[in-house]
Amino acid sequence: MKKQILLFGLLLSQVVLSQTKPIKDIAQELRIIGENDQKDRAQIEYIQNKYGGQSPEMNALWKSIGTNDSINIIKVSAILDRYGWLGPDEVGEEENRTLFLVVQHADLPVQEKYLPLMRKAVIDKKAKSSSLALLEDRVALRQGKKQIYGSQIAWDMKNNRNYILPLEDPDNVDKRRAKVGLPPLTEYIAYWNMKWDPEQYKKDLPEIEKMQLAKKK
């Protein structure tokens, strides 16, 4: 199924790249893509609480999310390759954010391809530095490095708790977050009913890194 989507996507992207669309049409397309990106994700918490994280219902939801993500990145790649990173003044705030969300939800090779483009977009005021920070964190972790801003959280099924994925220099994370417009880590992780204690985190970090290595095997 995924292979069929990719083959279809290659054909679709060539058709799209061969055409020049009015910006208003691209904005409308991004609006629809954004809705598709979020519609299933809006159900994650409900399905998980009702049926469980390992339930057939949850697995079906993740499968649907994966399929939509594959289609969305094909469409967004065609836009980015043709027009570059379109700013909010060109397509609208939410539509601009959709570019980031779709790349953020893509596979590592896609993220690595568009990370430099988004970095330039931040310099050009066409993307938010706070959004770029999240992409930087996700790419770093997927490359086997530590995240910089502490944006990536995981679930420890064994101990029934959330935890912050491997983080570089925990003592100064809030300084880095402030520079890119992110709130203090204490505020950010409160959503998951977590508390930030850098000293305890440094003690827990070796075990966290072991868990991450185990997941990759």
Which sequence spans correspond to the domains of the chain? 2-127, 153-216
Give the three-class secondary structure for 148.
coil
Please spell the DSSP secondary structure of the chain, one letter per residue. Answer: -HHHHHHHHHHHHHHHHTS---HHHHHHHHHHHHHHHHHTGGGHHHHHHHH-TTSHHHHHHHHHHHHHHHHHHHHHHHHHHHH-S--HHHH-HHHHHHHHHHHHTS-HHHHHHHHHHHHHHHHTTSS-HHHHHHHHHHHHHHTT--BSS---EEEETTTTEEEE--BS-GGGHHHHHHHTTPPPHHHHHGGGT----HHHHHHHHHHHHHHHHHHH-
If one compares 2 and 87, the residue with the highest pLDDT of the two is: 87
Most confident range (mean pLDDT) of 13-22, 110-119, 153-162 is 110-119
Q: Which residues pair with 162 in a beta bridge?
A: 155
Q: Above 50 in pLDDT, residue 69?
A: yes
Task: Provide the percentage of residues in the chain whose pLDDT is more than 90.
Answer: 80
pTM above 0.85, yes or no: yes
Mean pLDDT, rounded, of the chain: 91
Q: Above 60 in pLDDT, residue 145?
A: yes
Q: Above 60 in pLDDT, residue 1?
A: no
Per-residue pLDDT, averaged over 67-73, amounts to 96
Instruction: Let me know if 73 is exposed, middle or buried by CB neighbors in 10 A (0-12, 13-18, 19+).
Output: buried
Q: Above 50 in pLDDT, residue 60?
A: yes
Q: What is the pLDDT of residue 19?
A: 61
Q: What is the pLDDT of residue 18?
A: 42
Q: What is the pLDDT of residue 30?
A: 98
Task: Give the pLDDT confidence of 90-111 residue by residue, as tens digits.
Answer: 999 999 999 999 999 999 999 9
Calculate the alpha carbon distances from 185 to 126, 143, 146, 182 in Å. Answer: 25, 23, 16, 8
Per-residue pLDDT, averaged over 19-25, amounts to 81
Q: Above 60 in pLDDT, residue 12?
A: no
Q: What is the pLDDT of residue 9?
A: 54
Per-residue pLDDT, averaged over 29-45, amounts to 96
Q: What is the pLDDT of residue 14?
A: 47
Q: What is the pLDDT of residue 192?
A: 93
Q: What is the pLDDT of residue 91?
A: 97
